[in-house]
Amino acid sequence: MSAIRVIMLLLVMFLVACTNRSTPTTDLTNRQWQLIELEGQPPLPLEQALSMAFDSTGRISGFAGCNSFSGDYHINGTTITLSNVAMTLIACADDAVTSQEMMFHQALQAVTQYELDAGTLTLRDENGAVRLRFQAF
């Protein structure tokens, strides 16, 4: 095989690999997201809202009620995978906030699909059930 054909083949393979690579959606990463629904209910009113942000390198971070969290995300079409999600270990003073924070963390772990619509981010589980809904702010 001639050197030109080898180079062309490598170039085509590189382009295909780049095209299939999942990159974060700009609408997702250029915003802060405030939780407006958790498991079908509005979140408890707190001094600091529950929130999440997606950066352009595949990292998430946010506030869950008493604790901050961070982790990784990967997007492929409308599929989203959240992984390595870890929280700080600050004890909540209120049992209701502790329960909400646990629900929030469990919902994050169950998320497999996302949908963006007019400044609203909806995160669903594998059955299509809405687990979390956020509003851009």
- For the chain, the structural domain boundaries read 22-136
Residue 4: its pLDDT value, please? 61
Q: Report long-range pairs for 123-126 (Cβ below 8 Å, ≥24 apart).
A: 123/80
- Inter-CA distances, 70 with 8, 55, 61, Å: 41, 11, 4
Q: Give the integer Cα–Cα distance in Å for 36 and 113.
A: 17
Q: What is the pTM of this model?
A: 0.79
Q: Where are the beta strands (DSSP E) in the chain?
A: 32-38, 51-54, 59-63, 68-76, 79-87, 113-117, 120-124, 130-136
Q: Please report, in tens digits, the pLDDT of each residue of the chain (137 residues total).
A: 565 654 554 444 544 444 443 444 558 897 899 999 999 999 999 999 999 999 999 999 999 999 999 999 999 999 999 999 999 999 999 999 999 999 999 999 999 999 999 899 999 999 999 999 999 98
Which class does domain 22-136 fall in? mainly beta
